[in-house]
Amino acid sequence: MLAQALLSLGLCLWIAAGRDTPEPGPQPSISNSEGDLLFLLDSSASVSHYEFSKVKEFMWDLLQPFTFGPRDVQTSIIHISTTPTMEFPFDQHLTSASLKKAIGDTRQLMGDTNTGQALSYAKEKLFSGEAGARPDVPKVLVWVTDGFSTDDISEPMQLLKDMGVTVFIVSTGRGNFLELSAAASQPSDKHLHFVDVDDLPIITKELRDGILDVIRANRLHATDVTSSSFRLAWPQLLSQETGYYSLEYAPRAEPARKRTLQVSGAHTSLVLSDLAPETTYEVALIPESNVHYFPPQTTRVTTLAEEISPVQILISESGPHSFQVSWAPVLDSVATYQVLYGPLPGNSAKVLEVDGRQNSTVLEHLAPNSTYLVTVTAIYRSGKEKSLSAKACTQEESSQVRHLRFEEAGPDSLKVSWDSADGDVLGYRVRCRRHSGPPSVLSVSPGVQSVLLTHLPPGTAGQVCVQPLYGREPGRSLCRTLRRQPGHAKDALSLAQMQEQTLQLEQQAKLKEYEAAIEQLKNEQIRVQAEERRKTLNEETKQHQARAQYQDKLARQRYDEQMRQQQLANEENLRKQEESVQKQEAMRRATVEKEMELRHKNEMLRVEAEARARAKAERENADIIREQIRLKAAEHRQTVLESLKTAGMLFGEGFRAFVTDWDKVTATVAGLTLLAVGVYSAKNATAVAGRYIEARLGKPSLVRETSRITVLEALKHPIKVGKRLTSKAQDALEGVVLSPQLEARVRDIAIATRNTKKNKSLYRNILMYGPPGTGKTLFAKKLAVHSGMDYAIMTGGDVAPMGREGVTAMHKLFDWANTSRRGLLLFVDEADAFLRKRATEKISEDLRATLNAFLHRTGQHSNKFMLVLASNQPEQFDWAINDRIDEMVNFDLPRLEERERLVRMYFDQHVLKPATEGKQRLKLAQFDYGKKCSEIARLTEGMSGREISQLAVAWQAAAYASEDGVLTEAMIDARVADAVQQHRQKMEWLKTEGAEATKGTDRNPLLPFPKGTPV
């Protein structure tokens, strides 16, 4: 029986791979799309109620995946009717639920199809802030029409397109193909769609993609979003020669996991993979270019949930009325499982709900020996469903008792026992057949599993059978041979027990074999399941392809038929229009000809009458006219003669009087001479005075900053000038933190410069070199103030852009410097920008001429000005410049002692003093300031004085940015960590730049940088 049951189980278990049968779930949302989308909806009486409802469904299907909001998509509807009407403004419905309800509540207005008025109305609303429209975002107009208009649309539509609006047209009727083709944006095959109202879903995706191409054209956006990847696309901003992109992305909840990629400037898209499912990522695209500046672009993308259907169903522990169903895998994204099961064949089915965290259940109360179809459906939290099916069989009810046993109960009695049978047993029938003698039959109740047989003396042989009794029919009997040996009852009992143990061992061995066979059947079941799934998927793919091809074929045929009908209608309309135009032209031509003929006749009659009247009057008045002409001519002649005579007499008498009077002649000549001399003198004197004032009072164009007082500055800031004139000399190193050796050296320079000015001796030229931010410019200003001199600051980068004017500007600079009565300290910052080597560097002729002018004016020492040069790369100087330098001072990066002094000085200046004065919002928390300054000095190794000053300003800004204005120790540590990281990044850039600059060369800089500064 066990072998039969196992064979029945193997034949019944057959796995049928199920396919996905979910209801269409929500489509993935479309983010990072910004634009104003306006629907121009034909709401006139020419559209039926059924067509209007279909158009509303089409509008919502088109808009459903978009994200709505002030920084995303906004939409509105304008009705085409007798009077155009806006359904709602752009900024009213900014959620999908609100917009869906608004579209569903839209009602048809009926009336006339005045599309031209509606287009003019739409032109006003698309750019109106009162209607919720936004400036500087893409504008899209979607016109849904049945194809016919009662007024002209060409002019307002062209105005819309000229204002940058992209026009899409969806025609659900025939319409005028030429008119709609001209109205839609170009190319018309992408912006104009002819489709039946029932087939609007066919063009939904194509139209949505076209709209996305417009509103995403100039922004970073994501496409092809899956559970583990998405594609980024952006507009062409750079090229491979002009720069590259830095792409940064990280999960929004874990910004510390940010990753950075470098992308070539020639690329406009990139696929990011190996991402976590159902995770929102922040993405930033930063164009890096030395030619142009482009602001960073950002977007936010959410990957899809990992939705996998159950890939394996296992049926186990099958019995007559139940079996266990297990499935795999178990996913976190599953909310619940539904187990649908029913007998085959049959129409009845039951549903069992299972928690999403479980992967098995037991189906009970089943019919025995029946085939069931079991379908496991995974219901995901997103609403989607995935299913897999399998077939399973219940075992037939066992109708046989098991384990029939004999036990000696006496010399002539035997106890027979057995295990109960399965099912609803009504009782048992025990039959004993002897080889000699009549048989005996006993019937017992279902609760009894043993009987005592008597009158069985030793030597009795026969057979004992036990048969279960059921209501419909008796079960199968279990029989065992009875053989009692005479006088050997105990031996027979031992032998029977040994035989029973042997049988049990055999049965256990068979059970092991059956279990192995079951495992093999399970493996075969999995293989068959996978094969069936593959075949099912292949068949589904073929069916989908065939269905898609058939639908495409129908759509093409429908479109071809529409185009043919449209062409016929257009040809008929064109023929009628041509005939009408020809008739109107003939009538107009006849009317014009008749009018011209009548006008010509009237004109001829009028001219003839006027000529006759004029001729008659001239004949009648001929004598009077001749007399008038003669009198006018005589009078005119007499007037001219008198005028000439009078003018000649007056001129002659005046000239004679002037010539005869020598005093008048002498005075006239002297006056003209004085006038000429005055004009010439005034012109040249003005130019000389202007140059003198400019040299004395004006500031040269190359000077960026100066302490020299001009008349204009004195008039503008009299108090400031007065304080400067009355101020006393300051210490040259006040506020300047240097190493002790460097401080001693520069102090000697300051003292020597001050004494040089007092003794009116010649000033020495100084070169200060070293890393940026080490105090070169600050010391130059302090040196000038300490020495009682004026200072002027110019930068080397201002010389090259002046071109040919550079030589003149350079001479004006030194002429202006020579006019200083107090002496002038001329500080040239970034001097290596124009004082380069003339022999090896490629410089322009204008810059070379300017350099020569500089060398000419600095060839000798002067007691009027002192030249101080500052450079980060002094090895680039021309050798003639090196020859003019009297002393070189190296400003190195501050060491630990100097850094601690700098930190304390700037902490007191920017934090402690504002906090104690109480005039500002800044407050300071309680901690050990001195210990913290020493710790910061140790952490800022390699940083310059300027960087430490910027760090102190950052502390002040952090306090201002906090809610209570209190600067805590944690805030200071955070800003210090940021500054140290930024310094390391700068050093990496500088190291890379230096390696590229010196690649392939073995020359060493003239003046090496100090230790700790990368070259």
Would you say 401 and 421 are in contact if contact means Cβ atoms under 8 Å apart? yes
Summarised one tens digit per residue, pLDDT across range 641-695 is 888 888 888 888 877 777 787 777 788 888 888 888 888 888 777 766 666 665 5
**Average of pLDDT values for 89-105?**
89
Where is pLDDT greater, at 288 or 689?
A: 288
Amino acid at 810: M
**Average of pLDDT values for 398-409?**
74
Query: In whole numbers, what is the pLDDT of the chain averaged over residues?
Result: 80
On the question of a common fold for 35-215 and 705-890, the answer reads yes
Measured CA to CA in angstroms, residue 759 lies from 616, 762, 788, 864, 914 at distances of: 115, 9, 13, 12, 43
**Average of pLDDT values for 150-174?**
84
pLDDT of 14: 34
pLDDT band of 7, cuts 50, 70, 90 = very low
Where is pLDDT greater, at 1006 or 805?
A: 805
Least confident span in 53-62, 509-518, 597-606: 509-518
Beta-carbon count within 10 A of 478 CB? 19
Architecture of domain 306-393: Sandwich (2.60)
Would you say 929 and 907 are in contact if contact means Cβ atoms under 8 Å apart? yes
pLDDT of 472: 62
**Average of pLDDT values for 703-716?**
71
**Average of pLDDT values for 630-641?**
87
User: What pairing do the DSSP bridges indicate for beta strands 887-890 and 766-769?
Assistant: parallel
pLDDT of 710: 64
Beta-carbon count within 10 A of 373 CB? 18
Q: Alpha-carbon distance 565 to 576, whole Å?
A: 16
pLDDT of 68: 86
* CATH superfamily membership of 705-890: P-loop containing nucleotide triphosphate hydrolases (3.40.50.300)
**Average of pLDDT values for 708-712?**
66
Where is pLDDT greater, at 1005 or 184?
A: 184
CATH of span 35-215: 3.40.50.410
pLDDT band of 334, cuts 50, 70, 90 = confident
Is the predicted pLDDT of residue 398 greater than 90, yes or no?
Answer: no
* CA-based nearest residue to 737, from 931, 900, 872, 950: 900
Summarised one tens digit per residue, pLDDT across range 777-789 is 888 777 777 777 8
Where is pLDDT greater, at 269 or 738?
A: 269
Would you say 278 and 304 are in contact if contact means Cβ atoms under 8 Å apart? yes
pLDDT band of 29, cuts 50, 70, 90 = low
* CA-based nearest residue to 35, from 206, 160, 217: 217
pLDDT of 10: 42
pLDDT band of 928, cuts 50, 70, 90 = confident
**Average of pLDDT values for 828-839?**
84
pLDDT band of 997, cuts 50, 70, 90 = low
Architecture of domain 221-300: Sandwich (2.60)
pLDDT of 205: 87
Sheet of 259-264, strands arranged across: 259-264, 243-251, 280-289, 297-302
To the question of pTM greater than 0.75 for the whole model, the response is no
pLDDT of 693: 62
Where is pLDDT greater, at 677 or 719?
A: 677
pLDDT of 26: 47
Q: What is the dihedral of CA 710, 714, 715, 717, to 10 degrees?
A: 130
- How much of the chain exceeds pLDDT 70, in percent? 87
pLDDT of 23: 38
Summarised one tens digit per residue, pLDDT across range 814-828 is 888 888 888 888 888
Is the predicted pLDDT of residue 479 greater than 70, yes or no?
Answer: yes
Is the predicted pLDDT of residue 9 greater than 50, yes or no?
Answer: no
pLDDT of 16: 34
**Average of pLDDT values for 761-769?**
88
**Average of pLDDT values for 871-891?**
86
Q: Where are the domains of the chain?
A: 35-215, 221-300, 306-393, 658-697, 705-890, 896-997
**Average of pLDDT values for 211-232?**
78
Would you say 369 and 395 are in contact if contact means Cβ atoms under 8 Å apart? yes
pLDDT band of 88, cuts 50, 70, 90 = very high
Would you call the peptide bond into 89 cis, given omega within 30 degrees of 0 as the criterion?
A: no
CATH of span 896-997: 1.10.8
